[in-house]
Chain A
C-alpha cells in the first residue's frame, strides 16, 4: 500500500454533509419514485429559488420557522434568507403568479431546505423536503386526496411499515372556545395536551373552579382520543359545540374516502394533536415509521397562508423529509448496493472496441474503460476490486470475456450476449 496521508484540516461546517455513491443512488431512486407517484396523481413540479428576501419567508403564519432561518445580506444591505421550507415559496408563487389559473392547482416540489435546528434523526441543518400542495380546493375530497397521496408516496419509496396519524385543529380549538379559560391557563392546558400529560391536565383543571362537569370530562378524555377510526365515534360524546362537531364530521368524511382509496389500514387518528395549531386551519397529519422516533412526513390544511401573497385560496399539502425516509427504510432492512458497472473493457489500441462500447452503452449496459492497457490477469483483478462482474479484452477480431465462470470468446458483433448480461 502506498503511504496514505490525508488532511484533517478541512472540516465541514456544522449542519451539512456529503452523500456518497450508494447513498446517492438510494436517494435518487427514492426521488424518482416520488416523482412518478406525484405525476400519476396529476401534480406538476415547480423548481423554487434557494434564497429569497427574509421578510417574504418570515410570514407571521409560519413564525415558528422564523428563528431557525439562515439570514445574510445582499450587496445592497437587504436581508436574504435560505428557504426554511418549500411551502412558503410555493405560496408566494401561487399568490403572485398563478392565482388566476384554473383551480385547483396541484403542485409538487423537491429540494434542500435550511434550518438552524439540532441535527436529529438523519436531519442536518440542510435537509431535503419532497412535498405536494393542493391549492384552491377546500373540503374533505381535497383533504383525503392529499392524505392518500402521502400514503402512496411512502409506499412508492419502499417504506414497508409506517402509520399516518390524522387530526383536526378545529376539535381542540372548539374545545378551548367552549372552556373559555383565562388565557394563561388555556396556554398551559394546550401545552399539557401537546405532551399528552394526563395527570397534569387534571391538576390544571382543578384551578378552573367553575368548569361544567361535561367540559371537565371532555378535557380529561382528550389524551385518550387516539387510535383507529373508532376514535371518531367515541369522540362524539366529547363534543361541546358546533366547531368540535364540524371538525369531527369532516374527519369522518375523510376517513370514509380513505377507505375508498384503500389506505385506511395505514391511517390512525389523534384528536389531541395540537402541534402547529396556529399554522393549520383544518386536518393535520404526521407519519411515523418503526425505529425512527421522529415524524418522517407532516402536513395539513392551511387556508390562511396563500392570502399573505395574493388572493386567499384554500390549501392542503404535505412535505416529507427524504433524509429521514431513507433512514427509516434502512432501519426496516432496505439495502442499496454500491453502484457499479457491468463490464470493464480494455480498449487500448482497439478503435473497434470503442464502437462496441458505444453500442453496448446504447443498449443500457454500464461499460467502464480501462485506460492503462492492463494485461489479462491485471484487468480481471481490477474488475474484481471494483465489483464489476466481468472483464473484456480484444484479441484480434474476437473479445475475450472473463468472469467468475472463466474465460471465453465472444464475436465483436455478438450483441445478443450483451443483452443477456443486461438482464442478469
Chain B
C-alpha cells in the first residue's frame, strides 16, 4: 500500500464541511470516537491521513510539505501569503473580510482619516488595504473578540470576518468596506503537486466533481 496523501484540515467551523466533501469525493474518513484530541488521524481506506491544525497553520504545513494538501479559507491563505498552489475553490465557508466601525461614526470617506487605529487578526491584509489607499494605519493585532476594540476606545476601526453581520450589529458596529470575499480553498504543496501528480490530480478532480453536484 502506498503512503497516504496527507491533508491538513482546519479545526473549527470548516472541519465538518471539509470532511463531508472529501467523503462525497470517495475518500475514507477517520473513524469516529477519537474525541477530537488526536491531531493526526488515519482515513479508513488508507488513502488519506489528516492533520488537524489551527486554520492559520494550514498554509504553513502545506508550504513546507508536511502536508501534501490542505483545506482552509481564502482569507487565511491570503493573510499567510505562503508559496502554495490553489487548485480548487470549495463551496462552503463563505464569509467576507470587512472594515467595520461604530455605527454612530461620522459619515465620511476612509481616505480622509488621518492615521486610523485598526484592530484585527489580519495584519497583512489590513496593512495592504490601507496602504494601497494612501493611509498609514496603526495596527493593533489581536487574537480574539476584535469587535470589542471600538466599543472601549481601543481602536477606531476593525478588520474582521463577517458571515451574516449579526455580531457586528449586536455590538453597534457597521460594515464600511469589503476587503475580500472568502470561501474554503483546496491548497497544494508545489513539490507534492509534481512528485505525487497522479494522486493529487485524482483528489482535485474528485473534489471538483463532488462540489459540482
What residues of chain A have their CB less than 8 Å away from a CB belonging to chain B? 120-121, 161, 163, 165, 195-200, 223, 226-227, 268, 270, 288-295
Q: Are B64 and A293 in contact (CB under 8 A)?
A: yes
Question: Can you report 14 residue pairs joining A to B where beta carbons are below 8 Å apart?
Answer: A165-B194, A196-B85, A196-B86, A197-B85, A198-B204, A199-B88, A200-B86, A268-B194, A289-B195, A291-B65, A293-B66, A293-B191, A294-B190, A295-B191
Q: Is B129 an interface residue (CB 8 A)?
A: no
A53 to chain B: closest CB distance in Å?
A: 31
What is the distance, in angstroms, from A258's C-beta to the closest C-beta of chain B?
16
Shortest distance between the CB of A295 and any CB in chain B (Å):
7
Whether a CB of chain A sits under 8 angstroms from the CB of B149 is no
Q: Report yes or no: B85 in contact with A294, Cβ–Cβ below 8 A.
A: no
CB-contacts of B154-176 with A (<8 A): none
Q: Judge whether A288 and B194 touch: CB under 8 Å.
A: yes
Contacts of A293 in B (CB 8 A): 62-66, 189-192
Instruction: Name which residue of chain B comes closest to A268, CB basis.
Output: B194
Contacts of A227 in B (CB 8 A): 197, 201
B188 CB within 8 Å of chain A = yes
Give Cα A293 to B195, complex, Å. 10
Bound complex: CA of A197 vs CA of B85, how far in Å?
A: 7
- Take A268-B197, A290-B195 as given contacts and tell me if A295 and B86 are in contact as well, using a CB distance cutoff of 8 Å: no
How far, in angstroms, from A174 to B197 measured CA to CA in the complex? 25
B88 touches A294 (CB 8 A): no
Structural contact, B85 and A195, CB atoms closer than 8 A: yes
- Interface size grouping (class) on chain B: 20 to 34
Chain A nearest CB, measured from B8 CB (Å): 12
Residues of chain A lying within 8 A (CB to CB) of residue B63: 293
Q: Do A163 and B86 contact each other (CB < 8 Å), given the known contacts A293-B63, A293-B65, A294-B190?
A: no
Which of B87, B89, B195 is A223 in contact with, Cβ under 8 Å?
Answer: B87
- B190 lies within 8 A of A197 (CB): no
Q: Contacts A121-B64, A198-B87, A293-B65 known; A226 to B190 CB distance under 8 Å?
A: no
Check A195–B86 contact: CB distance below 8 A.
yes
Partner of A290, one of B62, B83, B190, B191: B191
CB neighbours of A161 from chain B (8 A): 195
Query: Could you tell me the distance in whole angstroms from the C-beta of B129 to the nearest C-beta in chain A?
Result: 17
Given contacts A226-B197, A268-B197, A291-B65, contact A200 B191 (CB under 8 A): no
Residues of A within 8 A of B64 (CB): 120-121, 293-294
B191-A288 in contact (CB<8A):
yes
Once bound together, how far apart are the Cα atoms of A293 and B193, in whole Å?
Answer: 10
Contact B65 A196 (CB under 8 A): no
Q: A121-B64, A163-B195 are in contact. Are A295 and B190 (CB under 8 A)?
A: yes
A196 near B191 with CB under 8 A, answer no
Known: A292-B191, A293-B190; 14 extra A-B contacts, CB below 8 A, are: A120-B64, A195-B86, A196-B87, A197-B86, A197-B87, A197-B89, A227-B197, A288-B190, A290-B191, A293-B64, A293-B65, A293-B191, A294-B83, A295-B191
**Chain A positions within 8 Å of B88 at CB level:** 198-199
| Cβ–Cβ contact B189 & A163, under 8 A | no
Question: How far, in angstroms, from A50 to B58 measured CA to CA in the complex?
Answer: 38
Bound-state CA distance A120–B204 (Å) is 27
Tell me the smallest distance from the CB of A402 to a CB of chain B, in Å. Answer: 47
Within B63-113, the residues touching A (CB, 8 Å) are 63-66, 83-89
Residues of B within 8 A of A295 (CB): 190-191
Q: Which residues of B contact A223 (CB under 8 A)?
A: 87
- The answer, among A196, A200, A226, A270, for a CB contact under 8 Å with B89, is A200
Residues of A within 8 A of B62 (CB): 293
| Chain A residues with CB under 8 A of B190 | 288, 293-295
| Complex: A290 Cα to B87 Cα, angstroms | 20
A residues near B193, Cβ cutoff 8 Å: 196, 226
- Bound: A288/B193 CA distance, A: 10
Binary per-residue interface labels of chain B (170-213) against chain A in the complex, 1 for a CB within 8 Å, 0 otherwise: 00000000000000000011111111010001001000000000
Q: Which 7 A-B pairs have the closest CB atoms?
A: A293-B65, A288-B191, A199-B89, A196-B85, A197-B86, A195-B86, A293-B64
Complex interface: chain A residues within 8 A of B195 (CB)? 161, 163, 288-290
Q: How far is the CA of A120 from the CA of B82 in the complex (A)?
A: 11
- Chain A residues with CB under 8 Å of B65's CB are 291-294
Which residues of the partner chain A approach B87 to less than 8 Å between Cβ atoms? 196-198, 223
In whole Å, how far is A274's beta carbon from the nearest beta carbon of chain B? 12
The docked-state distance in angstroms from the alpha carbon of A292 to that of B66 is: 8
Residues facing A in B31-82 (CB within 8 A) are 62-66
Q: Would you call A196 and B197 a contact (CB within 8 A)? A: no
Please measure, in the bound complex, the distance between the C-alpha atom of A165 and the C-alpha atom of B196, giving whole angstroms.
Answer: 12
B20 to chain A, nearest CB (A): 19
Beta-carbon contact of B194 and A196 below 8 Å: no
Q: How far is B208's CA from A198's CA once the two chains are assembled, in angstroms? A: 10
- B192 proximity list for chain A (CB < 8 A): 293
Q: How far, in angstroms, from A200 to B63 measured CA to CA in the complex? A: 20
CB distance from B68 to the nearest CB of A (A): 9
Q: Given the complex of chains A and B, what is the CA–CA distance between A199 and B188 in angstroms?
A: 14
Bound complex: CA A196 to CA B69 (Å): 13
B127 to chain A, nearest CB (A): 17
- How many angstroms from the CA of A199 to the CA of B181 in the assembled complex? 14
Question: For residue B89, which residues in chain A have a CB less than 8 angstroms away from its CB?
Answer: 197, 199-200
* Cα-based distance from A67 to B64 in the complex (angstroms): 23
Cβ–Cβ < 8 Å partners of A288 in chain B: 190-191, 194-195
- The smallest beta-carbon distance between A252 and chain B, in angstroms, is 19
Bound-complex Cα distance A415 to B96 (A): 80
> How many whole Å from B2's CB to the nearest CB in chain A?
12
Q: Nearest chain A CB to B124's CB is how many angstroms away?
A: 14
